[in-house]
Amino acid sequence: MQKRDRRQRDLARSKVETLTEALPWISQMSGKTFVIKYGGSAMEDDDLCRQVVSDIELLKLMGIRVVLVHGGGKAINSLLTDLNLPVSFKDGLRVTDDATMEVVQEVLVGRVNQHLVWALNEFGHNAVGISGADGKTLQAEPADPELGRVGRIREVSCELIETVLEDGYTPVVASVGCGADGFYNVNADAAAGKIAEAMNADKLIYLTDVDGLYRDVCDEDSLVANLTRSETHELLASDSLDGGMIPKVRSIADALDSGVREVVIVNGTFPHALLLEIYTDAGCGTLFTQDEPGPSGSLERSSNV
């Protein structure tokens, strides 16, 4: 056999191995509901954004019901800076006065949401953009007087999202909430967590710009592979988290408390991280699970690296 033929055969064999490894995951996950939160920090690069979008298309083709919830914190920061408006956070949440709220609306609903809808449609999806205010999907109330128009989610209505899914469209949700006196700036991690709870989602995935949760964000060897629900609460109580990881881990703890079985933080800037996490035995990122293993047939994997 010629050398080139052998190389081609080895390549083909490794492709078949990949498919064989993916098969049990593909069959187990078909028909499940996944809420994917796409953080603004992972959206900066257009090529990587296209890969995320193509991965989501593949999930849909594999029968997964995907609800995409997005942030856009970095893009909000840029526009605020361009407009000479202050950028200020408290415990990972943006201090939001009325002028900031207008910018948040403009960026999340007007720009990021529509860009994702367009990109998904380019890949063959039928995507529908939803502001959390549409159909009263995210009903909010003031979170803290010091934060201005930041909203805590009071109630989630999944009716619009379910209708969109049932009609074969992919819902793309911007984290803006509605309250008695207008719109609220809802943190996108919290929005994704609450939507996952309300939809009884099988899996909640956070796509961000780091490989997962670090014990110490300055030490790359401190990446955490697995955390149980109790350990997640202990971590929150230890006050050791910083910046954007605070609302993320808080919403993960809430989601686990409400019965979401599996949550994972994945690096959305790593090519095809979504597929690695979902369709390989090893998975990737930091996996958060209930204290007790799920019933047989649950999606939990036995190991995670």
Ligand X SMILES: Nc1ncnc2c1ncn2[C@@H]1O[C@H](COP(=O)(O)OP(=O)(O)O)[C@@H](O)[C@H]1O
The binding site for substrate consists of: 72-73, 94, 185
Per CB under 6 A, contacts with ligand X2W among 73-112 are 73, 76, 93-94, 104
Contact of 301 with 283, CB cutoff 8 Å: yes
Nearer to ligand X2W among residue 164 and residue 188 (C-beta): 188
Q: How buried is 105 (Cβ within 10 angstroms: 0-12 exposed, 13-18 middle, 19+ buried)?
A: middle
Residue 39 interacts with ligand X2W (CB under 6 A): yes or no: yes
The H or E element spanning position 272 is none
What does residue 173 show for φ and ψ, rounded to 5 degrees? Answer: -110, 125
Binding at 42: pick from ligand X2W, ligand X, none (beta carbon under 5-8 Å per type): ligand X
Nearer to ligand X among residue 41 and residue 298 (C-beta): 41
Closest-CA residue to 262 (of 235, 290, 282, 223):
290
Q: How far is the CB of 51 from ligand X (least distance, A)?
A: 16
The rounded distance, in Å, linking the Cα atoms of 60 and 67 is 10
Residue 301, classed as helix, strand or coil, is: coil
**By rule CB under 6 A, what string of x and - marks binding of each residue 229-248 to ligand X?**
------------xxxxx---
**By rule CB under 6 A, what string of x and - marks binding of each residue 43-82 to ligand X?**
----------------------------x-x---------
Site stretch for ligand X2W (CB under 6 A), options 51-59, 65-73, 158-166, 293-301: 65-73
* Alpha-helical runs (H) found in 147-295: 159-166, 188-199, 229-237, 245-257, 273-279
**Binding residues for ligand X2W, per CB under 6 A?**
39-41, 71-73, 76, 93-94, 104, 150, 175, 185, 187-188, 244
